[in-house]
Amino acid sequence: MIAVGIDVSKSKSTVAILNGDGSIRAKPFDVHHVADELQALVDYIKRTSEPPTILMEPTSHYHYPLLKAFTEAELPVCLINPYQMKKYGDTELRKAKTDKRDSLRIAQYALEKSYSLIPYTPQDQKYEDLRFLSRQYSQRISTLTVAKVQLLSLLDETMPGITTILPLKSRDPDNCVLLRFIKRFKSFDVIRKMGKTRFLDSYQVLVKKTKDRFAGSKGLAIYELVLSSVTTRGENPLSAMTQDQCVDLVSTSQKAADEINLQMRIIAETMPEYKVLRSMAGVGDRLGPIILGEIGDIRRFHSGKALNAYAGNDAPPYQSGQFESRNRHISKRGNPALRKACFEVMQALTKPQDDPVYLFLLKKEQEGKPYNVAKMAAVNKFLRIYYARAMELYK
């Protein structure tokens, strides 16, 4: 066999090829991510008389051109965690960091660990798409959060106290009375000039366009709030402009996040383990696809313990001589997005009396464990149960 090690970077990669005995077959050379050079690399590998083991690190989206070229050419390509590769390089006494040395190091790893490397498959693309959408969803939610904070800050100056009567329900922006209210009335100063009768009539027309059954009875309370409030930028046209922009941004960000979540559910429903995950207490249409995308193919883990380690929710033992630590913290060396999503599942548990995860969480809380400790212990239980149930599908 030959080992092909690829150090990926933006727009180009460095490739090194070793023979089966460890000798250098091709010294490290650069390959730009353009069609002709990628095809030349594929042709060179195919011309060799020995089966290749191709290994590279998944570096953001920079490795996708290489991955596409190899999969279309039906060449087996493996991906390795960059941190795992870094720890492998730490065994060298003399530290040196160049693209050429990294490519040789990756090729050496492929040669030594070829028996344990798992080639990338088309099925992995679905998990990759889910993870991509999960990260995009997180970005949209971050944008939504910032826009909501900015909007609430502006309302403190134009409509102080309005959110105590009309809450900000951004999950359904088209039917959120507050967002429509802001667009229509701009500030409390505008309402004062309208007068009580005209405002109440206009408010009832606005409420009829939404699905909120209780908002119609709040008009008088809003007008009383208007009369008692002090605005600081009520009649400022610049405030009205930026306020309208924040409303539009909240609405657009929420709709974008919902659209991404819908696509995630469509992909997730084609995978057999999604039904197992969705049937577990606390997992809904939003968290289910996120967890599935962050975990990926469950078959790549040899145990539930390994899955917890991937999430960074394990507490590795520490023992030396006569000393053995019994109070270890979780490593947090893993997938933070998966750990966060699982923590949200624990927060969403609503007393399912027959659910083993909830009973375990309740037990830890009764033992006096701190809030976060109890929740992360339940996450450990949750991932172990999911692993066991999902693996039954593939036996």
Question: pLDDT tens-digit profile of 135-150?
Answer: 999 999 999 999 999 9
Question: What is the helix (H) or strand (E) element at residue 55, kind and residue range?
Answer: strand 52-56
Compute the C-alpha angle 325/330/336, nearest 5°: 165
Q: What is the pLDDT of residue 233?
A: 87
What phi-psi label fits residue 296: left (phi over 0), alpha (psi between -120 and 50 degrees) or beta? left
> Which segments within 239-278 are labelled E, that is strand?
none
Distance CA 216, CA 210 (A): 10
Q: What is the pLDDT of residue 89?
A: 78
What phi-psi label fits residue 123: left (phi over 0), alpha (psi between -120 and 50 degrees) or beta? alpha
Question: Nearest 5°: phi and psi at 212?
Answer: -80, 115
Distance CA 195, CA 139 (A): 43
Question: What is the helix (H) or strand (E) element at residue 240, kind and residue range?
Answer: helix 237-268
State pLDDT tens for residues 4-22. 999 999 989 999 999 988 8
Q: What is the pLDDT of residue 93?
A: 65
All residues at 6 or more sequence positions from 262 whose CB lies less than 8 Å from its CB, including other chains: none
Q: Is the pTM of this model over 0.85?
A: no
Q: Which residue numbers in the chain have pLDDT < 70?
A: 93, 122-123
User: What CA–CA distances, in Å, run from 189 to 156, 203, 223?
Assistant: 13, 15, 11
* CB neighbour burial string for 232-260, b if at least 16 within 10 angstroms, e if fewer: ebbebeebbeebeebbebbbebbebbeeb
Q: Give the β-pairing of 24-32 and 12-18.
A: antiparallel
